[in-house]
Amino acid sequence: MKALVATLAASLIATTAMAQNTSITIGMQLEPPNLDPTGGAAAAIDEVVYANVFEGLTRFGSDGSVLPALASAWDINDDGTVYTFTLREGVTFHDGSDFDADDVVFTLDRARAEDSTNAQKALFAGIENVEALAPNSVQITLSSPSGNLPFNLAWGDAVIVAPESAAGNATNPIGTGPFVFSDWVQGDRVELAANPNYWGEPIALEAATFKFISDPVAAFAAMMAGDVDAFPVFPAPENLAQFDADPRFNVIVGSTEGETILAMNNSAEPFADPLVREAVALAINRQEIIDGAMFGFGTPIGTHFAPHNPAYVDLLDRSPHDPDRARELLAQAGYADGFTTTLKLPPPAYARRGGEIIAAQLRAVGIEAEIENVEWAQWLEQVFRGRDYGLTIVSHTEPMDIGIYAREDYYFAYARPAFVALMDALDVETDEAARVDLMQTAQEMIADDYVNAYLFQLAKTGVANARIEGLWENSPTQAIDLTGVRWVQ
Amino acid sequence: MRWPVSLIVGAAFSVVFAALALISFLWTPYDVDVLSIPDRMQAPSGAHWLGTDHLGRDIASMLMVGARTSIAVAIAAVGIGMGVGVPLGLWAAARRGGLLDEVIMRGNDLIFAFPSILIAILITALAGPSVWNAILAIGIFNIPVFARLSRGAALSLWSREFIMAARVAGKGAVHISAEHILPNIANLLIVQGTIQFSVGILVEAALSYVGLGAQPPLPSWGRMLADAQTLISIAPHMALFPGLAIVICVLGLNLMGDGLRDLFDPKLKQGRV
């Protein structure tokens, strides 16, 4: 009997070990609302399908660089308005149909169409015409010169879809990537299987499961129990020290594109007054927020730009923690006795915990910020669309998104004409040095105008089984790229 | 007459918490509005008797101010329940068997059918989460409890001779209810009020735990528990003390309610022995 049990146990261990070598379970906090990256804004969509199921003409590397994907090369004409992309041959979609220039024309025309539901239509705004020159060659004509096209086409919103399957991608995504969609159990998981006909470098994994665990306590338990092999964006930074101390796990700390800001409603009193905004910025103690809300994970920022970007300017000295000066500024603005405003907080820990700390810091200079915890749906409706707020905390995770400050209808409503002109100039500038100059001027302008209080760059705090390698350390875009992931030992 | 042991123990617990809540108006060991991030998650020590939370606030001070929130919410909610429920119950009893009786009691059944947490979520969706909405939700949930209790007790009194005498003397239903029935069911109401008080504290903690009760920075036992949840393996004291506070306070009130019943109803006590 004992021997039988031992054999059974041994074979069980052997099978799990074998299964583990080729399959992986990834934990995510939020479930995607659908699986079509060209038709939704949710980061969770891209996290599941970007580079795994769908590919674009270009793609982001783990360091944020733009690499060739379905286009093997591209040429730009002398004035920077005509791009000619050479496409890879022998690529097929998961349903067996061939990938060629017509799919590219279809995808880009669909994305920039009048009735397009693409969440980032601005990426395609400069495209005037898309034409198939040959089955493996596409010409894109821009209305004005731009150096940004390969970067724009690397976004998850610009992945190539086929006309035959585009309509069904929300529930049955069909792309060209190394993984084929196999199942989606709503509320629980999405399953992917390796694509045997993949055109590119073969991948090590045979199957991948994305499991959705919204509760941080359950996420911790699932990691500890081994139900989940990796949690690339672990929701509770307070648990990382425990994972770090455990030899079974690797803690992966990297940077994200998430500028976490205390946004102020520039369109309404009292935050329409730059003096008040400056006072708020000076009342904030960034290090306390990073330590208290994020357990030390995060880099302070003085403007809306990622510190790892080469064009970043350190502007922290424009808004040092100076409560006395903040009180003086409030008095100058006519609020010597302070005022009361609302502070609406979405669910993530950086907002909920950070909000309590910020409310205490503002109280110290006389501003009474009444905390109101809201769910994401309410936040989108009340704050993002309705502008019914005084203050809010949110992390802007899109790459290179300083352009949102030029949007008049955006929720913090800045759009100073000089800034809009700056962004227009940036759009048509192709010279790299001149672009950096423009981006730095823009960073300084929004820092000097104290549009928002810039808090910190969100850290990417992930946990993975120590035997997994190849997960991205940083998050240059919203993605959990599994193409290079494998089990070692 | 001997005082029931459960009454003495229960009242002692309850008085301690009430005293802590009252003292917190004048003095707390630390200011609960002031955060001190460098001192966060300290274990209990001489400086912080019950340790500090994840934002460096003193847990003992938070519990004292939180007791204030819990007790205030529970008192207000029991007040709503009694203030509305008892007159409704008495009115229904006075018109026993009539259409009005039927309407009132079926209305109560309707409210009873919704758990208080559901009512709270409904109110929150309409008016936003706040301590006032928590009071309203728990208060509404208390109405049918008191209405049923007072109607049932009043019904048995209405057939008694002294009520008959009052009616013969020409007193109206309102007078009889107020002068003869209410004093005779008061002890029942006090016992039930004590129990509902403890239920109120429990529900307030539950609502705050899911974010529908007291909003930060107002300290609340339920929210302290919610904040401690992900930190339980690093700083167990953050969950332990608010949890203990809820348990002891609710236990104390229940014991007190039990003891009061024994005191008011000696027959029941003898029967049990």
Question: Which of the four pLDDT bands, split at 50, 70 and 90, describes residue B264?
Answer: confident
Question: Do residues A156 and A54 lie in contact, with contact meaning Cβ atoms separated by under 8 Å?
Answer: yes
Residue from the list B35, B56, B233 with its beta carbon closest to the beta carbon of A242? B233
Q: pLDDT grade, residue A139 (50/70/90)? A: very high
Distance from the Cα of B162 to chain A's closest Cα (Å) equals 56
Instruction: Using a pLDDT cut of 70, give the percent of chain A over it.
Output: 96
Give residue B268's pLDDT. 58
Cα distance between residue B104 and residue B89, in whole Å: 8
CA-nearest of A134, A135, A129, A136 to A83 is A129
Q: What pLDDT shows up at residue A118?
A: 87
Torsion of Cα atoms, B252 then B254 then B259 then B263, to 10°: 130
| Angstrom distance (rounded) from CA A166 to CA A34 | 13
In chain B, which residues have their Cβ closer than 8 Å to the Cβ of A236? 230
The residue among A454, A476, A461, A453 whose CA lies nearest residue A297 is A461
| Residue A38 structure tokens | 């060209």
Question: What is the mean pLDDT of the segment spanning B8-29?
Answer: 93
pLDDT at B21 over 90: yes
Half-sphere exposure of A284 (CA within 13 A, CB side): 32
Question: B217 vs A356: CB contact, 8 Å cut-off?
Answer: yes
CA dihedral A409→A414→A418→A422, nearest 10 degrees, is: -70
Residue A1 has pLDDT above 50, yes or no: no
**What mean pLDDT comes out for the span B37-59?**
89
- Tens-place pLDDT, residues A376-422: 888 989 999 899 999 999 999 887 889 899 988 899 989 899 999 99
Q: How far apart are CA A485 and CA A203, in angstroms?
A: 8
Range B227-240 average pLDDT: 88
> What class, spelled out in words, does domain A2-31+175-254+460-487 have in CATH?
alpha beta
pLDDT at A485: 92
Q: Please provide the DSSP assignment of A276-304 as one string.
A: HHHHHHHH--HHHHHHHHHTT--EE-SSS
Residue A83 β-bridge partners:
A76, A140
Could you tell me which residues come within 8 angstroms of residue B9 by beta carbon, excluding any fewer than 6 positions away?
A: B252, B255, B259
Strand, coil or helix: what is B188? helix
User: How many Cβ atoms from other residues are within 10 Å of residue A431's Cβ?
Assistant: 11
Give the separation between CA B71 and CA B73, rounded to whole angstroms: 5
Whole-angstrom CA distances from B43 to A334, A342, B39, B48, B92 are 44, 34, 10, 8, 56
**Looking at residue B267, what is its pLDDT?**
63
The angle subtended at Cα A182 by Cα A176 and Cα A188, nearest 5°, is 125
Predicted confidence band of residue A125 (pLDDT cuts 50, 70, 90):
confident
Q: From B231, which residue of chain A is nearest by alpha-carbon distance?
A: A238
The reported pLDDT for the residue numbered A290 is 94
Fold observed for domain A257-458: Dipeptide-binding Protein; domain 3 (3.10.105)
Least confident of A273-277, B125-129, B257-261: B125-129
pLDDT score at B123: 83
Q: Are the C-beta atoms of residues B234 and B52 closer than 8 Å to each other?
A: no
Do A261 and A451 form a contact (C-beta atoms < 8 A)? no
Could you give the domains of chain B?
5-25+58-264 (1.10.3720.10)
The whole-number average pLDDT for the span B134-158 is 91
Whole-number pLDDT of residue B266: 64
**CATH fold for the domain made of A54-168:** Dipeptide-binding Protein; domain 1 (3.90.76)
Residue type, A150: P
The reply to whether omega before A270 is within 30° of 0 (cis) is yes
Contact of A224 with chain B, judged by CB distance below 8 Å, is answered with: no
Q: How confident is the model at residue A210 (pLDDT cuts 50, 70, 90)?
A: very high
Q: What is the mean pLDDT of chain A?
A: 89
Tokens representing A316? 């922290």
Smallest CA-to-CA distance from A170 within A37, A31, A42 is with A37
pLDDT at residue number A14: 46
pLDDT per residue as tens digits for the range A243-292: 999 999 999 998 888 899 999 999 988 999 999 999 999 999 999 999 99
Question: Mean per-residue pLDDT for A359-379?
Answer: 91
Per-residue pLDDT band at B273 (split at 50, 70, 90): very low
Asked if pLDDT for residue A336 goes beyond 50, the answer is: yes
- Is residue A7 predicted with pLDDT exceeding 80? no
Tokens describing residue A168: 């069904």
Pairwise CA distance, residues A320 & A327, whole Å? 14
ipTM at complex level: 0.77
CB pair distance less than 8 Å for B35 and A292: yes
From B35, B38, B231, residue closest to A238, measured CB to CB: B231
Closest CA to A233 of A208, A245, A216, A209: A216
Chain B residues near residue A242 by CB distance under 8 angstroms: 233-234
Using a CB-CB cut-off of 8 Å, the residues of chain B touching A371 are 215-217
CA dist B219 and A178 (Å) reads 51
For residue B150, give both structure tokens: 């007072």
Closest CA to B177 of B210, B152, B154, B148: B154
Residue of A213, A242, A291 to mutate when probing chain B, most B C-beta within 10 A? A291
Locate the domains of chain A by residue range.
2-31+175-254+460-487, 54-168, 257-458
* Closest Cβ–Cβ partner in B38, B128, B216 for A356: B216
Residue A32 pLDDT exceeds 80? yes
Residue A19: is its pLDDT beyond 50? no
pLDDT band with cut points at 50, 70 and 90 for residue B270: low
pTM of the predicted structure, to 2 decimals? 0.79
Q: Which residues of chain A have a CB within 8 Å of the CB of B232?
A: 217
Report the percent of chain B where pLDDT is more than 70.
97
Residues of A in contact with B217 (CB under 8 A): 356, 359-360, 371
**What tokens were used for A245?**
């101390």
pLDDT digit string (tens) for B92-111?
A: 999 988 899 999 999 999 98
Compute the average pLDDT of residues B105-122: 85
Whole-angstrom Cα Rg for chain B: 22
**Cα angle at A477 between A473 and A483, to 5 degrees?**
60
Q: What distance in Å separates the CA atoms of residue B264 and residue B273, rounded to the nearest whole number?
A: 16
